[in-house]
Amino acid sequence: MNGAELLVRRATRLGADVCFANPGTTEMQLLAALDATPGMRSVLGLFEGACTGAADGYARMTGRPALTLLHLGPGFANGIANLHNARRAFSPIVNLVGDHPQAHLPFDAPLTSDIESLARPVSKWVRTSSRADALGLDFEEAFAAAQGLPSGVATLIVPADCAWDTVEAAGAGDSALGPPKSPERGASVSIEAIEAAADQICAAKRGAILLGADALSTGALGWAGRIARSLGTTLFCDTFVARAERGAGIPSLERLPYFPEQIEARLAEFDHLIIIGTRVPVAFFGYRGGKSQPVPASCRVTHVSGAESAASEVLAMLAEQVSSRNGLRPLEPAPSPERPQPPRGELNVGTLGQALAAVQPEGAIVVDEAATSGAAYWSAAGGAPPHTYLGLTGGAIGQGIPCATGAALACRDRRVISLQADGSGLYTAQALWTQAREGLDVTTVICANQEYRILRMELARSGITQPGPQAEASISLTKPSVDWVSLSRGFGVPAVRVASAEDLVEQIRASLTQPGPSLIEALLA
């Protein structure tokens, strides 16, 4: 047995079962070990950002660490953007990054780099192995770190000699490594803090609760809904969430607006905000004369817990405390908005959101990287059948198509719908090829406005209402226009183009009846 085989054997024993790989020369032993180990599946991504984004989607849907296999520092660097998103989503991921043999590093070969320095900004745990016989334990610690609250990204750098060196059988077995290390449970929240929050929300004239992490699961939202109905409390979530359960019968969540002045105006209606599973709202960008923390002074904030605690447990305890003071209404289906009817006529941002909400099936997983084009979908989908929503947590674009790929691999029995902006989709369109190779049930809807529309909005907010030719050229996706139908077909995914609301509804419905991936380019007015 060599070090690579020891590592992968340990990985499967701990429950890892998929590795999103884009390997190179320094990872050949690890690649062979993946092939030789029962229970471990290797999935090829054509770009490292597709691998890391898919690992994020897989981890969000399973709650278990997915693996990536990346090639040296440049390969890891190609995957950093979606690891940034995964870090913001608290997704458990273990990166395996090959490096040169330790004896070769002093010669500064062309691909030599400081991988640890690249990994630290997006990883909660980083280590470079130094011996083959330590790889099993090193991986175990990486796996436990990825799962421990707050969960996140762990990066294990594997020099090629550690992977190929032989490990003595007597010291290599799983029994010699002892029982698997348990992940850290995370910080606890005192009963005094929860009692104080219950007093405050019960006393509030107009109270609100901002929820995040696993407080957005179906069970936790049931408790939140009972509090909301009993006290008249409004339930919020962050603008961008890692995962939220939504739809008919599930308590409605209002997303915080995107721009800071909108957040300030919305929260000005409340005198108290309780925060569970997330943090105090922060403006996505700093604007001249603007506020970084847009909660108005008139709204008192009580931060009960962040991602370092089990938010669902905290919410259940808060519900118990509220019930002892005020009583809770009996558990009953939450009132839901009506499901929209299939729209007709012009295909625009409004009808796009309505069309998807009108036809998406029960149990769908909706991955939203639609940017400005997805504005109407969230509110429209409140009355859709129960579904799972995955958002762009870190703002690094190019997350949607890979995340949908990983989610589909995690949940083969569920239809995944990727609501994807055209500009950001071009960052990682290679993931369509992985969907085709793996036969994944993913419907990708490209929101084709043929520009980076958010940048046009930001130019206007900066006072530039009439962009000049250079600025205009920097936000336009025309001359030539991107042909998503040809691009998709080139990756092996069937594709069509639509320009009306009726045609979009028809094509989404058609895609849902066919196995495998498909793409719909929706030309927006």
21 neighbors 31 (Cβ within 8 angstroms): yes
For residues 199 and 125, membership in a common domain is answered with no
* Phi, psi angles (nearest 5°) of residue 7: -60, -50
Residue 369 is assigned to a structural domain of this protein: yes
The residue out of 147, 177, 207 marking a domain boundary is 177
Cis upstream peptide for 480 (omega within 30°): yes
Instruction: Tell me the Ramachandran region of residue 378: left when phi exceeds 0, alpha when psi lies from -120 to 50, beta otherwise.
Output: alpha
Helix (H, G, I), strand (E, B) or coil at 62: helix
pLDDT at 465: 87
For residues 34 and 141, membership in a common domain is answered with yes
Provide the residue type at 9 as one letter.
R
pLDDT at 99: 98
Angstrom distances, CA of residue 214 to CA of 61, 63, 310, 482, 485: 12, 10, 7, 38, 37
pLDDT at 329: 73
Instruction: Tell me the Ramachandran region of residue 327: left when phi exceeds 0, alpha when psi lies from -120 to 50, beta otherwise.
Output: left
For residues 421 and 291, membership in a common domain is answered with no
Residue 338 is assigned to a structural domain of this protein: no
Maximum CA extent, the chain: 73
For residues 430 and 477, membership in a common domain is answered with yes
Instruction: Report the alpha-carbon distance of residue 423 to residue 132 in Å, rounded.
Output: 44
Residue 124 is assigned to a structural domain of this protein: yes
Residue 479 is assigned to a structural domain of this protein: yes
pLDDT digits (tens, 9 = 90+) for 204-260: 999 999 999 999 999 999 999 999 999 999 999 999 999 999 999 999 999 999 999
The residue out of 124, 155, 177 marking a domain boundary is 177
pLDDT at 175: 47
pLDDT at 188: 87
CATH number at residue 13: 3.40.50.970
What is the domain extent for residue 79?
Answer: 3-177
For residues 312 and 438, membership in a common domain is answered with no
For residues 47 and 21, membership in a common domain is answered with yes
For residues 302 and 358, membership in a common domain is answered with no
For residues 316 and 371, membership in a common domain is answered with no
CATH number at residue 265: 3.40.50.1220
pLDDT at 18: 98
10-residue averages of pLDDT along the chain (525 residues):
96 97 97 94 98 98 97 98 98 98 98 98 98 96 96 98 87 54 77 96 97 96 93 96 96 95 97 97 94 96 94 94 86 75 97 98 98 93 97 97 98 98 97 98 97 92 91 93 97 98 98 97 97
Instruction: Report the alpha-carbon distance of residue 235 to residue 459 in Å, rounded.
Output: 32
How many domains would you assign to the chain? 3
Helix (H, G, I), strand (E, B) or coil at 23: coil
Which pTM does this prediction carry? 0.95
For residues 398 and 431, membership in a common domain is answered with yes
For residues 311 and 433, membership in a common domain is answered with no
For residues 39 and 152, membership in a common domain is answered with yes
Residue 221 is assigned to a structural domain of this protein: yes
Helix then strand then coil, in percent of the chain rounded to 5, is 45, 20, 40
For residues 108 and 135, membership in a common domain is answered with yes
